[in-house]
A and B are shown apart, each in its own frame.
Chain A
Amino acid sequence: MDPLNPFDQEWVPVGTWAELALQWVVDNFRFIFQAVKVPFDIVLTALEEALTGAPDLLILAIIVLIAWQVGGRRLGLIAGGCMLAIGLMGAWVESMTTLAIVLTCVVFCSLIGIPLGIVAAKHDRFWAVLRPLLDLMQTIPSFVYLVPIVMLFSIGNVSGVIVTFIYALPPVVRLTNLGIRQVRPDMVEAARAFGASHRQTLYKVELPLAMPTIMAGVNQTIMMALSMVVVSSMISVTGLGQMVLRGIGRLDMGLATVGGLGIVFLAIVIDRISQSFGASARDRGHKKWYETGPVGALRSLLATR
């Protein structure tokens, strides 16, 4: 051994330990992880079948109508244009798969992240434990946990959703926590003073007032999920990411460009729609949702007849 260069040699076999630990978990607890996959699998399959099975034009129309409803006519046009571009480029089926993965991820991130954020906002100790965990989830490069995820969950779209879930969960938890904590204390106090229980205060005052912040968190989660599309294609997740990855592998500039542009267009559509969900009633001029957009147009049409 060279005394001046002791680090030529491995002293602490962290790699071996990690391998052993993972192997042990795989040998003994793989069934748990396989069980975890089930709900992800159900939602993903349902969404994917709906999105790819339905006629393309129907899906296009639905997306445009949703965009129009939540964000006005301009957003409807933008969404229509983007989706049309994706379809004309020949990336429609792939983009539907990616959309299904992103939506599944958002569903689970919201279902788990928003309650976590609420609990964190109410209990400082819980937040003190949760915060470093979230930091860890955000700072570990996603490549690092691809290997254990594949070992535990195997490859495929469902594993892709789980990887994306881990990566995209923190913002919605953080912003829910922040949103609830930022509600003016006297608003909460007023609710208590008029006899509301903790649950009523949460549902009638705190959550509605925190909603713009929570929706900003959901929006961030969606964007992070989209940014994982290419990375997760490495564990053979299909969709737009796979087009890009294949394009890189074969140096097929055309394929990579189509995949890349598809991701960009899809990102624009999802981002704008989810941001519009977060706009407060005050920004919309205090109109009820059913008084605007296609529903509003339909209602006024029916009313005039």
Chain B
Amino acid sequence: MSAAEIECRNVWKIYGERAQEALQAVVAQGLSKEEVRDRFGCVLGVRDASFSVNQGEIFCIMGLSGSGKSTLVRHINRLIEPTAGEIHVAGARVDTMGEEDLRRLRAETIGMVFQHMALWPHRTLGENVAFGLEVRGLGPAERHRAAETALDSMGLSGWIDHYPDQLSGGMQQRVGLARALAANPEILLMDEPFSALDPLIRRQLQDQFLELAKVVRKTTVFITHDLDEAIRMGDHIAIMNDGEIVQIGTPEEIVTNPKDDYVAEFVKGISRVGLVRAETIMTPLDGRNATEKTVTPESELGEIIDRFMDDQDDVTVLDPAVGAVGRITIRDALRALRG
């Protein structure tokens, strides 16, 4: 188990003049979002959120608009001040950090990608990408080199002196990613980075990012409103509703074992074929004989279904290290497919 790179403990965000008062009342009496609004004139943005992100993993926060996911992610680099709670990033405590330390953390440790790219139109791509280095006071030669490297890694070599409005949306977001990577930060925060793109480009960028993530292994917090995307990208997923984290788990856990009706409603339409593994749906062998057809515990549902193509005999789950550990009937497979 690798160390937690980002950790939020009991983070609350309440907007409004009487935030502290409202916080106490909410904690003491467990008021709902509407009650907070009516009694204190405050808006409850994030309610008691705790999560941790391991080094090198992609952590997706998924929720509909207004669920507080963008608010929550902005606590990690303190673009938004928490009303209460602790935030630890890369071994430092962010919520009590001084202004100068905070600026260094933002410029050197955390890169951020925005939904609508937020590239500055008056700056060339090179100047956009190297902005974080510029505000840290690095010289022009160093900035140029870093910008070139970052743009190259996103397949944008030779565009360094162009301006954002000369690029298509997909290319612009690649510049956004290059900008986040330019200072070689340990952490990436991605706020719905691909939502504004059309589906084909989105798919391409998702793949490109996954490829990149395999190589650079940045700790990534990835915000999305699209569960499909969260499942594709995430090692872990947190589902948010009304400012609260409803469930945290691996994609498989979320899909096979939704915690409540809200999550269940979301995962209903999700394809299980590439998600559910043999281990999850098998029943113990309990003395029965192993069959000819075998899969490994890590095999995905799609592969298991392939085994039933010719006949409907049970499939044995064979762990190469241990031997036969369980079996799956065609009913098990179909039930898993249905969800």
Contact surface of A with B, Cβ cutoff 8 Å: 184, 186-187, 189-197, 200, 204-205, 208-209, 280-282, 286
Additional pairs, 5, CB under 8 Å, beyond known A196-B131, A204-B135, A281-B163: A189-B79, A194-B179, A195-B104, A195-B108, A197-B99
Q: Specify which of A191, A208, A282 is in contact with B165 (CB 8 Å cutoff).
A: A282
Q: Are B107 and A195 in contact (CB under 8 A)?
A: yes
Q: Output the nearest chain A residue to B115 by Cβ-Cβ distance.
A: A186
Q: Specify which of B105, B118, B122 is in contact with A281 (CB 8 Å cutoff).
A: B122
Residues on B with beta carbons closer than 8 Å to the beta carbon of A204: 131, 134-135
- State whether the Cβ of B132 lies closer than 8 Å to any Cβ in chain A: yes
Residues on A with beta carbons closer than 8 Å to the beta carbon of B107: 194-195
Q: Are B135 and A197 in contact (CB under 8 A)?
A: yes
Q: Are A194 and B120 in contact (CB under 8 A)?
A: no
> Could you write out 23 A-B pairs with CB less than 8 Å apart?
A184-B118, A186-B118, A190-B118, A190-B120, A193-B77, A193-B110, A194-B107, A194-B131, A194-B132, A195-B104, A195-B105, A195-B106, A195-B132, A196-B103, A196-B131, A204-B131, A209-B121, A209-B122, A281-B163, A282-B121, A282-B163, A286-B163, A286-B166
Q: Are A194 and B112 in contact (CB under 8 A)?
A: yes
Q: Output the nearest chain B residue to A185 by Cβ-Cβ distance.
A: B118
Nearest-CB distance from B231 to chain A (Å)? 27
Q: Cα distance A189–B115 when bound, in Å?
A: 12
Given contacts A197-B135, A200-B135, A286-B163, is CB(A192)–CB(B118) below 8 Å? no
Q: Are B135 and A205 in contact (CB under 8 A)?
A: no
The interface on chain B, measured as residues whose beta carbon lies within 8 A of the other chain's beta carbons, has a size of: 29
Given contacts A186-B114, A200-B135, A282-B165, is CB(A193)–CB(B106) below 8 Å? yes
Interface secondary structure of A, over-half rule? helix
- What is the 8 Å Cβ interface bit string for chain B, positions 149-174, against chain A (1 contact, 0 not)? 00000000000000101100000000
Q: Are B122 and A196 in contact (CB under 8 A)?
A: no
Q: Cα distance A25–B283 when bound, in Å?
A: 97
Q: Which of B90-131 contact A (CB under 8 A)?
A: 99, 103-108, 110-112, 114-116, 118, 120-122, 131
Q: Cα distance A194–B116 when bound, in Å?
A: 16
- State whether the Cβ of B136 lies closer than 8 Å to any Cβ in chain A: yes
Q: Are B135 and A196 in contact (CB under 8 A)?
A: yes
Nearest-CB distance from B110 to chain A (Å)? 8
Q: Output the nearest chain A residue to B109 by Cβ-Cβ distance.
A: A195
Q: Cα distance A208–B110 when bound, in Å?
A: 25
Q: Are A186 and B116 in contact (CB under 8 A)?
A: yes
Q: Output the nearest chain B residue to A280 by Cβ-Cβ distance.
A: B122
Q: Cα distance A281–B166 when bound, in Å?
A: 13
Nearest-CB distance from B290 to chain A (Å)? 56
Residues on B with beta carbons closer than 8 Å to the beta carbon of A209: 120-122
Q: Output the nearest chain B residue to A192 by Cβ-Cβ distance.
A: B79
Q: Specify which of A195, A200, A205, A286 is in contact with B120 (CB 8 Å cutoff).
A: A205
Q: Which of B160-204 contact A (CB under 8 A)?
A: 163, 165-166, 179, 189
Q: Output the nearest chain A residue to B135 by Cβ-Cβ distance.
A: A196
Residues on A with beta carbons closer than 8 Å to the beta carbon of B108: 195
Given contacts A195-B106, A196-B131, A197-B135, is CB(A190)–CB(B114) below 8 Å? yes
Q: Output the nearest chain A residue to B132 by Cβ-Cβ distance.
A: A194
Q: Cα distance A37–B103 when bound, in Å?
A: 44
Q: Cα distance A61–B210 when bound, in Å?
A: 61
Residues on B with beta carbons closer than 8 Å to the beta carbon of A286: 163, 166
Given contacts A194-B179, A195-B108, is CB(A189)–CB(B132) below 8 Å? no
Residues on A with beta carbons closer than 8 Å to the beta carbon of B111: 194
Nearest-CB distance from B131 to chain A (Å)? 5
Q: Are A193 and B120 in contact (CB under 8 A)?
A: no
Residues on B with beta carbons closer than 8 Å to the beta carbon of A187: 118, 120
